[in-house]
Amino acid sequence: MRSLLLLLLVCVSVSAFAQKKKKGEEAKPATPPATAPAEAKKPESAKVDSLAPRDVLTEHFARKYAAAVQWNDYDVAKDALYDLIIRNPQNDSLIFDLAVFYYQNRKSASAVLVSNELLARNPKSTAALEINAAGLEDLGVLDKAIQKYESLYLLTTNMGVMYKMAFLQYRLKRYGESGASADILLSNKEIDNNKVQFNGADGKPKDYSMKVAVLNLKGMLALDQGDKINAKKFFDQTLAVAPDFVLAKEGLAKCK
């Protein structure tokens, strides 16, 4: 019974480990400011019977892991997590938690490599795709990040993912693709119910309807391509919805 309880502790505490931050270091958000988060779900926590039953080493690493989390030593917790993975190599939930740890602690290359392992096992893992895409984006490999976000969108049809794609396509000057992504978003009736964050006129973060950001993106696309007439139209539409949206005011000034 004691062995079973220890193994159950691993399953419960691993989930907490993935969401906590290093002591003295702020955890990285799932997505950067001014973006809508992709809501890919984390795989279910590992079941007790998926770990080696009554395995002395597994119990030891579980104790080590639980103590490290309790005492906020996440480097040691990470090492214990590695030990648990070595003892339970088929446990995808443990591997995913390691990928999350690396991403939250700004080790994007490691997050990508670990999530690659999960995608090799299951190419349709939405949680692994999200970590992989975000890690690639942080590394500046935007074309590959878009490919992962596209795969994620096909599996989830999540608006936050399409929003992310639209802005990455804009950054790569793939204007036609970005405009098409923006049009898909604007045609979605739920766009007003999705919020994104930008700095307001006072410089402080503020929530806006996703529609505001996408209309402004359409204006940016037109302006970058020398179409000031349509750019002004979209910036005016943006300000009609959010009169204090700073980026639209700046864009409108460039249309003169």
pLDDT of amino acid 170: 98
**Domain boundaries along the sequence of the chain:** 1-156, 174-256
pLDDT of amino acid 54: 56
Tell me, yes or no, if the pTM score tops 0.75: yes
Locate 56 and state its tokens: 């002395």
Asked whether 222 and 230 are in contact (CB, 8 A), the reply is yes
pLDDT of amino acid 53: 54
pLDDT of amino acid 147: 97
pLDDT of amino acid 81: 93
User: What CATH code would you report for 1-156?
Assistant: 1.25.40
C-alpha dist (Å) from residue 114 to 1, 81, 160: 33, 13, 23
Among residues 68, 97, 94, 100, the alpha carbon closest in space to that of 7 is found at: 94
Rounded CA-CA distance 42/56 in Å is 28
Q: 64: burial class by Cβ within 10 Å (0-12, 13-18, 19+)?
A: middle
Domains 1-156 and 174-256 share a fold: yes
**Mean pLDDT per 10-residue section of the chain, whose length is 256 residues:** 33 42 36 38 40 73 90 92 93 94 94 98 97 97 98 97 98 98 97 94 93 98 97 98 96 94
Locate 245 and state its tokens: 């949206």
* Class of the CATH domain delimited by 174-256: mainly alpha
pLDDT of amino acid 7: 37
